[in-house]
Chain A
Amino acid sequence: MLRRATTRILSHRRHCSTAEALKVTAADDLFMAAWKRTMPNLDPPKTPLSFLQPRPSTASAASIPSKMTINLVSSCSSGLSNKQAHMVIVPATTGQMGILPGHVASISELKPGLLSIYEGNEVTKYFISSGFAFVHSNSVADIIAAEAVPIEQVDPSSVQKGLAEFTQKLSTASTDLEKAEAQIGLDVLSALNSSLSG
């Protein structure tokens, strides 16, 4: 759907985006032709190429789309795919980073924190445990995280309990590794705490 929108807006670039699509279908056609020759009675299998959704072309550097396309993927589910939004704020290790359409292409490592997606008047918030955010030059943002939970699923009392437990672990930690683990626990839990209230 987005592909058709961009080809309408950038009609002079029409030949670029359809050329990529043609290359894909040409490879698929060769396979299909070979299959039909050898096994005409069997249905051909679906190749990964047929499942592949074409992504908007990155050549469209001339115009900035009005909305970002967000893909949020976590280890167990694809939280969001191709969600349109005006702005997204990701918890990068260098601080909260706001990404608007037309953002320069970048890769950022994420620290445990809150991911907010602003669409019109509504905000969707997810807590990200850690991961990476890839922003492409066509205003597509891919956010991958080990765990991305909607903030409503977080239990405040467990967060408080965990904070107390890890503060105590930090004071009794002896080896470097134990100290690091306790510090990580504190970081994650205080991020959870501030996300619940913020």
Chain B
Amino acid sequence: MTSNAAVPFWRAAGMTYITYSNLCANLVRQCLKEPYRSEALNREKVHFSISKWAEGKPEKPTIRSDTPE
């Protein structure tokens, strides 16, 4: 089987396609004119809580959020 020839520079640096695509999308959003820019950035805000599990029990959850508390 032939191996993949030229990989894109971002994949060679260890980035996945999704990370690349999201990065590009973010850059475009930051270059928009005013009402569109705040709408777009607001649309992409996330707020979620993660808890890792160890030995069958959840540890203390951490909250990751873009919305100011």
Spell out A's residues near B (CB within 8 Å). 75-76, 112, 127, 129-131, 146-147, 149, 153-155, 158-159, 162, 176-177, 179-181, 183-185, 188-189, 192
Task: Give every chain B residue within 8 A of A185 (Cβ-Cβ).
Answer: 23, 27
Assembly CA distance A80 to B10 (angstroms): 30
User: Once bound together, how far apart are the Cα atoms of A149 and B27, in whole Å?
Assistant: 12
Q: Mark B47-66, 1 if CB is under 8 A from A, else 0.
A: 00000000000000000000
Q: Which residues of A contact B24 (CB under 8 A)?
A: 112, 129-130, 146-147, 184, 188
B10, B12, B22, B34: the one within 8 Å of A146 (CB)? B22
Q: Can you list 22 contacts pairing A with B, beta carbon distance less than 8 Å?
A: A76-B43, A127-B28, A129-B24, A129-B27, A147-B24, A147-B28, A149-B36, A153-B33, A159-B31, A162-B30, A162-B31, A176-B12, A176-B13, A177-B14, A177-B15, A179-B13, A180-B10, A181-B23, A183-B9, A183-B10, A184-B24, A188-B28
Chain A residues near B32 (CB-CB < 8 A): 149, 153-155, 158
Closest 8 pairs between A and B when the two form their complex, measured CB to CB: A180-B13, A146-B25, A176-B13, A129-B24, A147-B25, A129-B25, A129-B28, A158-B31
CA distance A147 to B25 in the complex (A): 6
Shortest distance in angstroms between B66's beta carbon and chain A's nearest beta carbon?
16
On chain A, the residues within 8 Å of B20 by CB distance are 130, 184
Pick the residue among A146, A176, A192 that contacts B31 (CB under 8 A).
A192
Whole-angstrom distance between the Cβ of B45 and the nearest chain A Cβ: 13
Contact (A147, B9) CB under 8 Å given A112-B24, A129-B24: no
Q: Is the interface of A mostly helix, strand, loop or mixed?
A: helix
Most B CB contacts (10 A, CB to CB) among A159, A179, A184, A185 go to A184
Q: Which B residues contact A (CB, under 8 angstroms)?
A: 9-10, 12-15, 20-25, 27-34, 36-37, 40, 43
Q: Are B21 and A146 in contact (CB under 8 A)?
A: yes
- Of the candidates A76, A153, A159, the one having the most CB atoms from chain B within 10 angstroms of its own CB is A153
Which residue of chain B has its CB nearest to the CB of A148? B28
Q: Which of B23, B25, B30, B33 has the most CB of A within 10 A?
A: B25
Asked whether B31 lies within 8 Å of A154 as measured between CB atoms, the reply is: yes
Q: Which of B13, B34, B37 has the most CB of A within 10 A?
A: B13
Chain B: minimal CB distance from A41 (Å): 41
CB distance from B20 to the nearest CB of A (A): 7
Residues of A within 8 A of B34 (CB): 155
